[in-house]
Amino acid sequence: MKIARVKTEIVKLPAEEPLAGTPPANPNETRPIVVLDMATDDGVEGLGVTYFGGAMTGALRTTVEEIGALTIGEDPSRPERIAMKLREALGTSVLGGLTTLAQSAIDMALWDMRAKALNLPLWRLLGGARERVPTYASGALMRSLTDDQVAKAGRKLVERGFHQMKTQLALPGDTSPAREVARAQLVREAVGADTTLMCDINQRWRPEQAIDIGRRVEDVNFFWLEDVTTADDFAGLARVTAALKTPIAGGEYVYGIAPFRHMLEAHSVDIPMVDLCASAASPSG
């Protein structure tokens, strides 16, 4: 079994949020996903996806194609061997960014092929510890929505049976702590006390601001506060984590495995979040 074909395409998904039907910040926006389709000489197919979301989606697609071409002739049942070959081929350009995102799509496709070749679902191949995994509604309760829109969307998610969901703070416009607290309370009220509610800041607060607002919203009982400040400010994150009772989550904005070591050593986060596109194919193995 050898890899014989590597194909890529860009699929533009509508940005409209499907869970609560909330409007996107920009109605003409689409989400361009790079889809990788690999196949072996005996017809086993593997799919991988990766996402950049910016103006360089075309460059990401080219990167997936060019790195993917290096897998032709390789045995997809050995994804670790292929990852090693790719790391050697990429040299120092493997530090992060486009190459990591591209390698992640390849890694996904390889594991997909490996599982299909063995006629097993991937979850079983990876150990199959659980029958079910919890998920949460993400992307519906955005900071771009008005208070009315976000409250309506929250109620809709609850009606549709979601028990766990995520909202955002660091609102556009009025950046006062009072406004942030009012919004947090409004969302909590809309979804009810029994809903597990997470909150993403997307790196928009300073550490001191995170501590200040984080303390003021402790009563809102967020399950976690996510990416409260710059993702590689490990010391700043650690100050916030030490100061707040609410658990701090982070990890989506860093590439590979190495930053997680720094995060854990510095006690920067309570909950490490792994983004499969950014972290799967680590430069350090």
Residues near Mg ion, by CB under 5 A: 200, 252
Shortest distance in whole angstroms from residue 273 CB to Mg ion: 7
CB-nearer residue toward Mg ion: 74 or 200: 200
Shortest distance in whole angstroms from residue 70 CB to Mg ion: 31
CB-nearer residue toward Mg ion: 112 or 227: 227
Taking the C-alpha atoms of residue 242 and residue 255, their distance in angstroms, rounded to an integer, is 24
CA atoms within 13 A of residue 156's CA, in its CB half-sphere: 15
Cβ atoms within 10 Å of 280's Cβ, excluding its own: 22
CB-nearer residue toward Mg ion: 112 or 252: 252
The residue sitting closest to Mg ion, measured at its beta carbon, is 200
Residue carrying structure tokens 């120092």:
92
CB-nearer residue toward Mg ion: 49 or 271: 271
Shortest distance in whole angstroms from residue 29 CB to Mg ion: 18
Taking the C-alpha atoms of residue 225 and residue 140, their distance in angstroms, rounded to an integer, is 17
Residue 246, Cβ density class (10 Å: 0-12 exposed, 13-18 middle, ≥19 buried): buried
Residue 98 Rama label (left phi>0; alpha psi -120 to 50; beta): alpha
Shortest distance in whole angstroms from residue 78 CB to Mg ion: 33
Q: What's the maximum distance between 2 C-alpha atoms anywhere in the chain?
A: 62
CA dihedral (6, 9, 15, 19) positive or negative:
negative
Shortest distance in whole angstroms from residue 227 CB to Mg ion: 5
CB-nearer residue toward Mg ion: 125 or 247: 247
